Amino acid sequence: CPYATSAPSEGEDPLRLHARDGPEWSPFYTNNMTDAQWEALRFDVYNTIVQGGHAPAVVQLAWLDASSAGGPHAELRLGDNSTTIQLLESIKKKHAGITHADLWSYAAAVAVSNSGGPTINWRPGRSDALIRTSDHVSIQPNPTADPASIRNAFSSIGMDDKETVALMGAHCMGNAHLNVSGYVGSWTQTPLFVTNQYFTQLTKNSTYRQETITSLDSTTRMQYSDNSGRFMLPSDMALTQDPIYLSHVQNYASNLTAFLSDFNLAFSKLLEVGVGSGLSNVSISTSITDFPPADQVQPTALDPEMQCYPSYESPRFCMSAQDTGSNLVYTIHSAAIGWTGFGVGSTSMKDGDVIAAWRNSSGQAWTTAFSTSQHAIQVAKNSAWKQVVLMEPAPAWSKISFSAIHPKIVASSGTGKTGNDITGEYMFAISSVVPAGDLDRLNGVSVLYQHDVSGVLGNIRPKPFTGPRRANASATDIASSEAGGPAPPSGNFARLIGIAFGSVALVVLVLTGVGLMYFRKRIVKSDTNQPMTEMPTFLEPSLAGLDENGVVRERTSRKGRRRALGSSVSASSSFSDLGMSETSSVQLSGQTPNMTQEFLNMRPISSSFLQSSAASPSPLTLANLNALDTETRDSDLFRALAIAQISASDTYSQQTQRTSLLVKRKEVRISEDVVQRSNESLHARVFALAATNGLDAKEPTLWGMEEVACWVLKNGGNSIRDAGVDVVSVVQVGRMTGPILLASPVDDLLELFGIFAYGDRVLFAEAFDKLKK
Ligand code: HEM
């Protein structure tokens, strides 16, 4: 390798040198990735795989890959297109520097490490199989295997009895599916977590009975099931039929720490079967412990009305409440890892409705309404809390994140604050320890007491929910929120290309970012019980904060602007305002079959939506929208729309780079024709202005941002508008490239582009820094 800076070590593949030392990307081995790149990858895996509930599937895939002859080389991707593989491929697209084989293995390690499991020792260096051969078959024994066959199989990949039992403990995660293996059920009650429940269940093997399962192809299988719906394969039960296996099972059942530690050793060994000698010596972190500190957390990016409690910085806790008329909707984010609970009521938490809710690191939430004599009583049984799995993935810093709906009720008796009276104090408690036990109702109560932090939140009044919320914000509301509002961000932009220009551009940046946030939240916060009265608009919010002359409406403070922007967004938010007919929207499947499908595969989606967007292109009309059930309408539909929009308007590479980000946050981009039309008129205006100002008659539509900036400076205006260019033109013509970008504070850009996931922020900041240099 011409790039090699040192000789290959003995037996080392020279191709690896290219990945290590070459200036260009190498497809053969995982490249020398920077810490920031690893961090970004880790967060992407976390967000997509762990938060998406795919950890078990990824762990199983890594097992099947590593236990096939030749070791982990991701050969299953050749010819197999499971959802899990597709998800990993979508991550791979964003992180070209890693091989498929390393990614699969790393994703499994990250999944385990961030689902309550041990931190897995992991290092890169696996190469990708280029062809799939028939001997690439896992040594996984038959599910009916006896102890001897299991021993035989595992020893063929170098695993001793202890390692075998530890590895089998992976069945604490996941499910068997009728349509996959013909078995059905989950081994434990928390299938998204690494626990030792698999072993505690095995020690209760006498409580299991044999059950015959008829699979989809009408063949039958025997499995073991217990009374609470947990199951075991015959090969799992075999671990209790061999004295050596059984001793390890018993040890792990009573000693979680021993299991976690042995699982790390066995699993990291598994991930290196057959490839160990060629691996890098650099060990890469798999655990997400480096959540950004509280001061980097931008709660306003989640919801401007969310109140955060900095005195509880670690873990931080933010909450907002909305009154929809018939329901109270609470949304909570916290950086806690384990669980969080909150209650509503008086300071002593008496006679209040209480919800304990817990969002695990795998994207699932449990909520538990309960009653205790001491802390919270009188659960309104007939008007139960409804848990809402958060529609948008939680922001990266937020390990726990959920919305919960409480139907409004009239307080029947007692002293508590219930029903419509819930405007008082909110108790919360957080534990950074993931509860080990079952998370059913009763046990949920018991863990509530084991908390790290607890306290009383101030008086959070549920804000009225009025559809596009801020449209109706009263003047007093705005004034009071401004009083304590955060200071506008500072920037060095002004220093670089002129104070006046800078300040206006900053306004644009902030407004655009805020607009995006608003826009996103508006969709996210749609009242799930109300019929939708308008189509989602694809209006770029930066345009909407301006009046017909391109003047920013209110600028008293950042928050004030945000609200002003909100009003104008809603004022111009219908399709007809944009000159588009209601039916001229998106042809979902026609344009983006793969991406839409990939997306749809990622989340359960209602059959009505699937039908409405089935194979043939069907325009999404207002009528279609309203025909959808609320859950779909408010979640996946929008993301699907976003995908379709992105696909329609972006180039392929933009698409792949941006899809995950945009889709995650359901940002719906302005549709192509709107951009086109506004560009045309703006360009014409700029061109005319250029001509009257004696500027070189280069077609302004071809101007880079630099030229716009030079022109503004040359014309000596005190602000862009003085120079005759409105801010819309600047944004539209320049699309925020060139010097404006470089001169802008990175935080503003992150906000502008709506980059909130921590990993993405780090990666962006690094790239930006490089670009500047
Ligand atoms: C005797 C050895 C093993 C047998 C017979 C076996 C068999 C199975 C079967 C039949 C399923 C259900 C598949 C489905 O219907 O979707 C399954 C799932 C799973 N297996 Fe194993 N397995 C074995 C060992 C392992 C090992 C060593 C690991 C990891 C280290 C593992 C990880 C998993 C996981 C995580 C799932 C759940 C997948 C999901 O939820 O989609 N298995 N296994």
Atom of ligand 1 nearest to the CA of 191: 40
Fold that domain 19-173+186-209+244-290 belongs to in CATH: Peroxidase; domain 1 (1.10.520)
* Residue 237, token pair as written in the block: 């039960």
pLDDT of residue 505: 29
Higher per-residue pLDDT: 691 or 297:
691
Judge if 19-173+186-209+244-290 and 294-464 fold alike in CATH terms: no
Q: Which of residues 376 and 535 earns the better pLDDT score? A: 376
Task: For residue 446, give every residue at least 6 positions away whose Cβ sits within 8 Å of its Cβ, in sequence order, or none.
Answer: 437
Residues 6+ apart with CB under 8 A from 544: 515, 565, 568, 569, 571, 572, 573
Q: End-to-end CA distance of the chain: give it in Å, rounded.
A: 29
Question: Do 65 and 132 touch, CB atoms closer than 8 A?
Answer: no
Tokens representing 229? Answer: 């719906």
pLDDT tier, 32 (very low <50, low <70, confident <90, very high otherwise) = confident
pLDDT at 623 > cutoff 60? no
| 618 vs 613: CA distance, rounded Å | 6
Selected residue with higher pLDDT from 646 and 406: 406
267 CA: nearest ligand 1 atom: 30
pLDDT, residue 265, reads 97
* Predicted pLDDT of residue 405: 55
Q: Where is average pLDDT lowest: 301-315, 418-432, 458-472, 553-567?
A: 553-567
Report which secondary-structure segment, H or E, holds 429: strand 425-431
Q: How far is the CA of 124 from the centre of ligand 1 (A)?
A: 24
Q: pLDDT class for 26, splitting at 50, 70, 90? A: low
Stretch 296-310: mean pLDDT, rounded?
Answer: 49
Q: Dump the DSSP string for 148-168.
A: HHHHHHHHTTT--HHHHHHHH
For ligand 1, mutation pick of 64, 150, 171 (most atoms within 8 Å of CB): 171
Cβ-Cβ contacts under 8 Å for 536 (sequence gap 6 or more): 523, 638, 641, 668
CA angle in degrees (0–180, nearest 5) for 551-514-549: 10
Most confident of 278-292, 364-378, 488-502, 578-592: 278-292
Q: What is the pLDDT of residue 484?
A: 26
Per-residue pLDDT at 169:
98
| Every domain of the chain and the residues it spans | 19-173+186-209+244-290, 294-464, 582-670, 672-746
**What average pLDDT does the segment 685-691 reach?**
50
Looking at the DSSP bridge assignments, the partners of residue 322 are: 329, 463
**Residue 431: strand pairing partners:** 339
> Which CATH code of 3.30.2270.10, 2.30.110.10, 3.40.710.10, 2.60.40.1210 fits the domain covering 294-464?
2.60.40.1210
**pLDDT tens readout for residues 252-286:** 999 988 999 999 999 999 999 988 777 888 899 89
Average pLDDT over residues 619-634: 41
Higher-pLDDT residue of 406 and 79 is 79
How many whole angstroms from 47 Cα to the centroid of ligand 1?
23
Of the candidates 563, 517, 569, 562, the residue with the CA atom closest to the CA atom of residue 756: 517
Confidence of residue 229 (pLDDT cuts 50, 70, 90): confident
Does 140 have pLDDT greater than 60?
yes
Q: Which residue has the higher pLDDT, 364 or 760?
A: 760
ipTM at complex level: 0.99
Nearest-CA residue for ligand 1 atom 11 is 176
User: In the structure, which protein residues have their CB atom closer than 6 angstroms to any atom of ligand 1?
Assistant: 56-57, 59-60, 63, 140-141, 143, 145, 150, 167-168, 170-171, 173-177, 180-181, 183, 233, 235
Closest CA to 552 of 540, 565, 563, 541: 565
Q: How far apart are CA 566 and CA 523, in angstroms?
A: 13
Q: What does 34-92 look like in DSSP terms, one character per residue? A: -HHHHHHHHHHHIIIIITTT-HHHHHHHHHHHHTBTT----GGGTT---HHHHHHHHHH
As a whole number of angstroms, the distance between CA 406 and CA 342 comes to: 13
Q: pLDDT confidence of 361, banded at 50, 70, 90? A: very low
Ligand 1 atom nearest residue 177's Cα: 15
143 alpha carbon – ligand 1 mean position (Å): 9
What confidence category does residue 59 fall into, taking pLDDT thresholds of 50, 70 and 90?
Answer: very high
In single-letter form, the type of residue at position 521 comes to K
Residue-wise pLDDT tens digits, 177-220: 888 899 988 898 777 778 888 999 999 999 999 999 988 888 89
Q: How far is the CA of 60 from the centre of ligand 1 (A)?
A: 6
| Average of per-residue pLDDT across 12-25 | 64
Identify the sign of the CA torsion 369, 372, 376, 382: positive
- Write the secondary structure of 287-340 as one string of H (helix), E (strand) and C (coil): CCCCCCCHHHCCHHHHCCCCEECHHHCCCCEEEEEEECCCEEEEEEEECCCCEE
Confidence of residue 332 (pLDDT cuts 50, 70, 90): low
Task: Flag whether pLDDT at 57 surpasses 80.
Answer: yes
Q: CA 46 → CA 291, 334, 394, distances in Å?
A: 12, 16, 11
Structure tokens at 750: 């992150």
Question: Which residue is listed with tokens 């804000």?
Answer: 463
pLDDT classification of 635: cutoffs 50, 70, 90:
very low
Task: Tell me which residue has its CA closest to atom 22 in ligand 1.
Answer: 140
Percent of the chain with pLDDT over 90: 18
Q: Which among 257-261, 283-287, 421-425, 599-603 has the top mean pLDDT?
A: 257-261
Work out which ligand 1 atom sits closest to the CA atom of 270. 30
Give the distance (Å) from ligand 1 centre to CA of residue 394. Answer: 28
Residues 6+ apart with CB under 8 A from 705: 733, 734, 735, 736, 737, 738, 739, 740, 741
Cα 751 from Cα 510, distance rounded (Å): 7
> What pLDDT, on a 0 to 100 scale, did the predictor assign at position 116?
75
45: closest CA among 97, 93, 98, 88? 88
| More confidently predicted of 81 and 163 | 163
Rounded to the nearest whole angstrom, what is the distance from the C-alpha of residue 444 to the centroid of ligand 1? 28
The minimum-distance atom of ligand 1 relative to the CA of 266 is 30
Cα 40 to ligand 1 centroid, rounded to whole Å? 29
Q: For residue 103, count other CB atoms closer than 10 A to its CB.
A: 26
**Pairing mode of beta strands 463-464, 317-323:** parallel
If one compares 610 and 154, the residue with the highest pLDDT of the two is 154
242: confidence class by pLDDT, cuts 50, 70, 90: very high
- pLDDT for residue 734 is more than 90: no
Q: Which atom of ligand 1 is nearest the CA belonging to 174?
A: 40
Q: What mean pLDDT is reported for the chain?
A: 57
Burial grade of 614 (CB within 10 A; 0-12, 13-18, 19 or more): exposed
CA-nearest residue for atom 7, ligand 1, is: 143
Is residue 167 classed exposed, middle or buried when 0-12, 13-18 and 19+ CB atoms within 10 A define those classes?
A: buried
- Establish whether the linkage from the previous residue to 315 is cis, with ω within 30° of 0: yes
